């Protein structure tokens, strides 16, 4: 489910309910997600105030009072839901439930349990094993064409595989890699090292544009993604290539009968979608 735009949407949805609030009740309903949860996790959250909620790549950074950070990754199917009056009873996949001092209830729901949580001191946050080697945020100032060209130089893997490397761009995922490459007019199969200055410029612009539009749309709801309020994202309606194999390419008037339109291939075990004519 969640790539950068979805995680950012979740962050924005949680802020009004959690930021500045004290957690009065925390229920942990299983000992682990993808990995074991930290020792005495619920106890350590209980009674603490949440100061702010940030994001690094696909990680939510929930800053707690007393200089500790609650790190949360949604994996493939993780969801934070703000429970209203009509909230369903807790089910098998509701792994954590928190209640704030003003009565708001937030559930963490994750059927596949690829999610991940940890507690770590704020002072050493950047050195946390899961954060230390993350590349720059694609919406930040450090993500420049010079930077990207430098990271692609010397890499012989296909461009799309390198874009999925979180050390290169923090927050890129399978959907938005395909969509960004489409907008940049670059083939996912191109050797990464052959994308120097000018093309890197186009790629940077495309990635920024796609992410900004997707965030504005509340992310993409294919299966699991929902905003914490329960609303769906709607960027999936704007996909140019993802999940559209066999359909005509929206970017060129390419004749689908001649070019095959949008193609699906498998790279590093994951689906890639692109227009073989427009993307070189």
Partner DNA sequence: CCTTCTCCCTGCAAGC
Partner DNA sequence: TGCTTGCAGGGAGAAG
Catalytic center residues: 2-3, 58, 270
| Contact call for residue 2 and DNA (CB under 7 A) | yes
Q: Where are the alpha helices (DSSP H) in the chain?
A: 4-18, 41-45, 145-152, 159-163, 174-184, 197-216, 256-259
- In order of 8, 100, 106, 111, 125, the CA distances from 74 in angstroms are 12, 21, 14, 11, 18
| Contact call for residue 190 and DNA (CB under 7 A) | no
> Which pair of structure tokens corresponds to residue 81?
């839901």
| Contact call for residue 130 and DNA (CB under 7 A) | yes
Whether 264 contacts 273, CB under 8 Å:
yes
Among 223, 237, 253, 257, indicate the residue that binds DNA (CB under 7 A): 223
Instruction: Report the phi/psi class of residue 162: left, alpha or beta, with left for phi > 0 and alpha for psi in -120 to 50.
Output: alpha
Nearest approach, Cβ of residue 219 and DNA (Å): 7
Binding mask 13-42 for DNA (x = CB under 7 A): ---------------------x--------
CA-to-CA distance for 95 and 93, rounded, in angstroms? 6
CA-to-CA distance for 209 and 199, rounded, in angstroms? 15
| Contact call for residue 230 and DNA (CB under 7 A) | no
Nearest approach, Cβ of residue 133 and DNA (Å): 8
Q: Is 130 helix (H, G, I), strand (E, B) or coil?
A: coil
Binding mask 131-170 for DNA (x = CB under 7 A): -----------------------xxxxx--xx-x-x----
| Contact call for residue 222 and DNA (CB under 7 A) | yes
Among 11, 48, 55, 58, indicate the residue that binds DNA (CB under 7 A): 58
Going by the DSSP 8-state scheme, the letter that residue 276 receives in this structure is T
Nearest approach, Cβ of residue 72 and DNA (Å): 12
Indicate the residue among 57 and 136 with the shorter CB distance to DNA.
57
Number of residues that bind DNA (CB under 7 A): 40
Work out the end-to-end distance of the chain between its first and last CA atoms, rounded to an integer number of angstroms: 28
Indicate the residue among 24 and 222 with the shorter CB distance to DNA.
222
Residue carrying the six token digits 């939510």: 60
| Contact call for residue 227 and DNA (CB under 7 A) | no
Q: Which of residues 92-121 bind DNA (CB under 7 A)?
A: 92-93, 111-114
φ, ψ of residue 177 in degrees (nearest 5): -65, -45
Binding site for DNA (CB under 7 A): 1-3, 6, 34, 57-58, 73, 75-76, 92-93, 111-114, 130, 154-158, 161-162, 164, 166, 173-175, 192, 220-225, 268-271
């Amino acid at each position: 489910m969640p790539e950068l735009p979805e995680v950012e949407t979740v962050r924005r949805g949680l802020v009004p309910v959690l930021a500045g609030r004290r957690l009065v009740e925390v229920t942990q309903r299983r000992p682990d997600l993808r990995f074991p949860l930290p020792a005495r996790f619920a106890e350590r959250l209980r009674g603490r105030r949440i100061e702010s909620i940030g994001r690094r790549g696909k990680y939510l950074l929930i800053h707690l009072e007393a200089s500790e950070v609650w790190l949360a990754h949604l994996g493939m199917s993780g969801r934070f839901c703000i429970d209203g009056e009509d909230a369903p009873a807790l089910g098998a996949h509701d792994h954590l439930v928190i209640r704030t001092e003003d009565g708001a209830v937030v559930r963490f729901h994750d059927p596949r349990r690829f999610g991940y949580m940890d507690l770590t001191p704020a002072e050493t946050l950047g050195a946390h094993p899961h954060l230390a080697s993350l590349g720059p945020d694609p919406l930040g100032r450090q993500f420049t064409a010079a930077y990207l060209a430098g990271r692609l130089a010397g890499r012989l893997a296909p461009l799309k595989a390198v874009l999925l490397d979180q050390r290169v761009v923090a927050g890129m995922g399978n959907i938005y890699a395909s969509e960004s490459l489409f907008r940049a007019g670059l083939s996912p199969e191109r050797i990464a090292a052959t994308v120097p200055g000018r093309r890197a410029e186009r790629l940077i612009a495309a990635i920024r544009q796609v992410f900004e539009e997707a965030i504005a749309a509340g992310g993409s709801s294919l299966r699991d993604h929902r905003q914490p309020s329960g609303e769906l994202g709607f960027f999936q309606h704007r996909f140019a290539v993802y999940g559209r194999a066999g359909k005509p390419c929206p970017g060129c008037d390419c004749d689908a009968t001649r070019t095959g339109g949008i193609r699906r291939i498998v790279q590093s075990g994951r689906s890639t979608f692109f227009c073989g004519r427009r993307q070189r």
